[in-house]
Structure formats: structure tokens, C-alpha cells
Structure 1
Amino acid sequence: MEDVIDGIHWSIDRKVDIINLSFGFEKDDPKLKEAISLALSNDILVVASAGNTLGLYTHYPATYKGVYSISAIDKDLKRYKLAAKGKIDYVAPGVEIPVYNQKGETIIQSGTSLATAYTTGVISILMSKEDSNVDLGLTSKSLGKKDDFGLGLLLIK
């Protein structure tokens, strides 16, 4: 936890535009919440994985107000079977995604962490197209229940 909090402060000091947290924690931590609040107050977007919790709850910091909470869907736009439910803002592809392992080999992985990285990339593209003082105007395609899909699949306009 301490390393994550230090990393958030490091990012704030360097005035980054966006922080990707493709992981989460089961338990809340006041110091994590404080660091996230500081990042948000410095106009840094925070995108976090909702978690692979079998639909039982949403991980921290994705559950915090102001943090984009991301869940995963498959190629048929169905919720990933292990994905969290609850505070979900958007969903993105996160099932059977080809990734490189430490040996440089392509392997197939699934999870909300992959969907979070994808979403951070989409938001970064949108941010690069907009005046930094303008609301991003995120658009999405609704896919069903808000507890499962949030506002839906994030789209590039």
C-alpha cells in the first residue's frame, strides 16, 4: 500500500494528466483515499480496476468518488464472469486479451486490470484531442444494468 501511495504522490509532483491503477485492494485505507483525493484536486484523472471479485463488491480505490471504476466485458459485450459489481463507471474489453509476458511471449489473459489499461488508453487519446481545460465529454454505449456495466462501453467520438 505504501508503494502505491508513494507512486501517486510521485505522479502528483510530476503533474501527470492521468493515473492508471490496474489493480485494487479489498480494504479501504485512509492514506490511499487521501492520496487519491489529492490527485483529483490537482486535476489528475484516476482510472482504477473494479476488481475480479466474482461480482461481490468493487475494489478500492475504484469505489472512491471521482475515480473512474472500470470493469471487463468479452467480445460479445457480456460481463466478465469474475468482474466486480457495484460502483462501475465504464466497461472495456478485458477477456482473452493477448499480452506479452516477462519472456516476450504472447499469452492470453483476462480481467478488469486489462480493461482498465485499455480505458486509460482511450481516455488518453481523448485528452490529446481536447483543450486541457475542456470537459472530455466521454460517450458510451449502454450495455445493461448499471451495477454490471456502469454507463457502458467507452467510445471515442
Structure 2
Amino acid sequence: MSKLETMFSSCAACRPSRHTFRKLITLKSKRSYMRCLKQLKSLDINPYKTVPSSLVIGCHFDKRSAWRSLAKHPLIKLVEKDYKIRAHDLKVNTAKISRGRSQPLLTQASTSVSGLITWNINRVKAPQAWSTTRGKSIKVAVIDSGIAKHPHLSIAGGINTIDGGSYYDDNGHGTHVAGIVSAIGIAGNVTGTAPEVDLYAVKALDKNGDGYVSDIVEGIDWCISNRMHVINMSFGLLGTESSGTLHNAVRRAYRQGIVIVASAGNSGKSSGKIDEPASFSETIAVAASTRSNRIASFSSRGKGIGLTAPGQNILSTWLNQKYIKLSGTSMSAPHVAGGAALLLAGKSGLSPSAVKIKLRRRAKKLKGFGIRSQGAGLMQLDKIFNA
């Protein structure tokens, strides 16, 4: 028995129990990855997650074993906890609006658009960009709780990385985020930031809005394989946790030319830092503003915020063909994901770095707030094609 196989046999478990925890192993090469899988199989140990392109294997490890010795093996790059992820929304206003009822905070769109435009879409000046493009042919993936069937959302496809089942939403968060990106705005209903993008659902959060890094990593891998142009991630790691496995996946997507947008977090003025993955330099981290153009009290502060977008009392699509108002940096990020899609549709071939620079260059500074609160300022899309 090889040294690696001996290590696995002593610390990996065949099934979860009160004595196990979830660990992610990243191998250094494809060869070592395949070798590791083969040895696990010989021990009748079935990993709960395998992500070949990221060389990641998820296993249940016995807490009572000397599992830390695995990290020192020359074939293994990283061993870390499979951290929990949580959606970045605050359900401060849960009044649902049924299809066909009057909808507050809406204004009539121009005669060339059949939908209605919420205050937040007007605030980022998305309608002024629509004369150039509405995002056609740009593929946007929402890694979230899935996207529900809705008459005003057009879902091009997707994946469920939790259990391989349906990518339809059983929480509502992902559907709300998707509507902010690209609700199609027909029959007098809400219009998203980029209503003609190709929208993809990557279900990696469960019915409670919770998930694991391993499911997010598999979702990012799917986005790379399926050539997404933009990824929206309206969630964050809990507390002060940090994941090298997640960062490695984000780096891979960034190097493949994907624009990655992430919500800053909802820890407020005293947070001192923004959450991962928003804190990764490869993302565009988004803070939340209010209707009065102030940074929302719940919006996390810290180094690395790229832009601000509306995030308080945002009306968008919901489960059962309804609409709802939610708050959180979860609602801010999809404005920027939609804005990035518009920019890419109007100026094809831009790198993720160039997209970030151009969006930041046209942002509007909000008075009374520093860079650690708002980044470059409130996103403005009316002149992005001249940036």
C-alpha cells in the first residue's frame, strides 16, 4: 500500500457521520488527481464531490484521525474545510406582488420598450444604454439558488451542482437576482438591466439559501466549460473564513476571460472587510446604495469594493410568477453583472480587467462616502460605450 493510500485509509470515511467533516483536496496534477481517485475507489470510499478541471476532490474525513498529514504529501496542493456559503439578502420587505397588480416604484419606459422601469434600473441609467444594445448574445450565469420558471424570465439553460437535479429555484433568491439582471419587461412588467442576455441558472445554494464551496467551485467550472461571459455571485463565506479552493476557481474563470461580479456583504459599517469571493481581486465587488443615493447601512465596508449599485427595496421576479421587494448587496451585484453584459455586447472582446476599468471610470461618486464604502461610486451606464 502506497503512503498516499495509507493516509486516505486512515482518515477518509466511507460515509458522513457525527465524527466526520467535509474536506476539499486539491491535487497538483491531472495524473495525481486520477491516481487519488483510483486509490479512493480501491478503499470503497466515494467522494461526495469531484471537479476534474479544478483537480478538486471532496471527502468526508474522520475528525479523530491525523488528516492534516495529507496536506504535506507532495502530490497534494491544498487541503481545507468545505466552507459554508450564504446568500447576501435581507428580507426586510416581504410584501409579494402578484402578476398583473399595480407595482410601486415604477415609471413608464420609453415608447420603444414595452416594460416598466423600476427606480433602481433608472438610477444606473440602463435605459440610456439600450439604444446601443440590450445585451443580446452575452451569456450570463447566476450562481445561486436556481432560477424559477417565470413568464418574464427567459432561461437558456443551467445545472444543479448540489445533487444533479433540477436547476429551478426552491428558495427565491436566485430568481430575484436573475430578474435584476435580465427580466424581459413584456406586458408592462419589470425590466432588468440587460433584458436580452442569455440567462443561465447554476443552482449551488439550497432551499435555505445556503451552500458549500465545493458546489460553487463546480458551478464555476461549468461556467468555464460552457463559455459564460459574466458570472454573478450574490453570496459570501460565513464570518472571517477564507477559501483557497474558491479563490483558485475564481482565478481560473478570470483567466478564461469571464467577468465575475460579487456582492460585498451585509455586515454594515463596522464590518472592516468585505466577504469572499467579493474580496478577491479578480472580481468586481459591489456595495449597496439606497433610493436617496446613500450607502445602505447594511452594506459591508472595506478594501476592494469596486462599484456601488442600488440594493434597498428592489422589486424583482419571485417564485410562483410573482414579484417581491428585497434588500441586500445580493440585489446590488446583478445590476453590475447586467451592466458588464451590456458593455460586452456593445464592445466585444474586452477583458475582465477592461470591463472593470470602464465601468468604474463612468461611476458617480456619492457625496459623504469614502472609497471603502462605495468604491468608484454608483454605476452609470449611459456613457459606458465612450469610456
Q: What is the TM-score normalised by the length of structure 1?
A: 0.94
Per-residue deviation, 1:118: 1.2
121, 124, 148: which one pairs with 2:373? Answer: 148
Residues 90-149 of structure 1, C-alpha deviation per residue, up to 9 Å, x if partnerless?
A: 000111111233233322111100010111111111110003147342221111300111
**Alignment-derived partner of residue 11 in structure 1:** 223
Which runs of structure 2 are paired with 1:56-135 in the superposition (5 Å)? Answer: 56=271, 57-86=273-302, 87-133=304-350, 135=354
Q: Note closer, same or farther for the CA distance 1:124–1:133 as it changes in structure 2 (3 Å cut).
A: closer
- Equivalent-residue separation in structure 1 for 2:306 and 2:337 (angstroms): 13
Per-residue deviation, 1:30: 1.0
Range that drifts further, 94-103 or 118-127: 94-103
Per-residue deviation, 1:78: 0.5
- Equivalent-residue separation in structure 1 for 2:297 and 2:321 (angstroms): 28
Identity %: 27
Return the letter of the residue paired with 1:140.
Answer: A
Is the CA contact (8 Å cut-off) linking 2:259 and 2:340 kept in structure 1? Answer: no
- Equivalent-residue separation in structure 1 for 2:317 and 2:230 (angstroms): 23
- Equivalent-residue separation in structure 2 for 1:151 and 1:61 (angstroms): 19
Higher Cα Rg, which structure: 2
Whether 1:37 and 2:251 are equivalent positions in the alignment is: yes
Per-residue deviation, 1:151: 0.3
Per-residue deviation, 1:15: 1.6
Return the letter of the residue paired with 1:45.
Answer: V
Per-residue deviation, 1:53: 1.0
User: How many residues are aligned here?
Assistant: 157
RMSD of Structure 2 on Structure 1 (CA): 1.3
SS class of match (1:52) = coil
SS class of match (2:299) = coil
